[in-house]
Amino acid sequence: MDPILVEQKGHTAVVTINHPPANAWNLTTMEAFEACVNALEADNQVRVILLTGAGDRCFSAGFDVKDAANGPKIGALGRSLWTRLDRFAKPVIAAINGFALGGGLELALSCHFRIMADAPKIFIGLTELNLGIIPGWGGTQRLTQVVGKAKALDMILFSKTINAKEALAIGLVNQIAAPDKLMEEALAFADRLAQRPPIAVGCVLKAMSTGIYEGLERGLEVELEGSRTVRTTEDCQEGFTAFLEKRPPVFKGK
């Protein structure tokens, strides 16, 4: 059974974590995901990545304790891959179809957008302190960036889990949906993103992540580089032409 499934729908690649029952991360799953990320990064036909979990119970429950012997390797890959997604030049959407706990929520936090199924038994949280450990795949940093220091401390130190409505209220997710409508709404959101000019989208993502990781001055430099890049693209010409012709632009990523 393939631990990572990929299905392309238009310019969107739907990536499914397929490691039941909890879609947890062992070394095999992590290495398959790394290969998937490599392929999607190089594929010019893919403009958006939509990430979800197999089944309807778990998006991902984080680290697979059954593969504890490979813990150091899994942890190193988790930290590097989650950061790579956070800095990815193509939009990544997490469709949170079930529990997202520990490393699973850390993965969702590394995505640019999060859409969560709204159901009474679906919760998300960084619950590592219940085991006497701490979030180690970026959770202390990214949760703080998204919801603020006070709320992040409250969630992490008390291992609190929250439902979809609570997550939406604090800005942890961008959108919620009925479970049977989650993928439909997530794909519609992905399709809208895919219609945006891919080169310009990539430049925006690169400039934003550079500012976060490397500081404001370097972020402004990368923003300027991006401004110069997009001026020479066919998409730029198409955008201005479509504006003058009063029609929707059709961007080709050139």
Q: Give the active site residues.
A: 106, 128
**Residue 30 near residue 78, CB atoms below 8 Å:** yes
Name the token pair of 181. 């409508």
Residue 205: partners with Cβ closer than 8 Å, 6 or more residues away: 87, 88, 89, 90, 91, 112
Integer Rg of the chain from CA: 19
Contact criterion met (CB below 8 Å) for 164 and 119: yes
Which two structure tokens, joined as six digits, stand for 106? Answer: 């850390």
What is each CA distance from 47 to 13, 84, 126, 201, in whole angstroms?
Answer: 8, 16, 30, 9
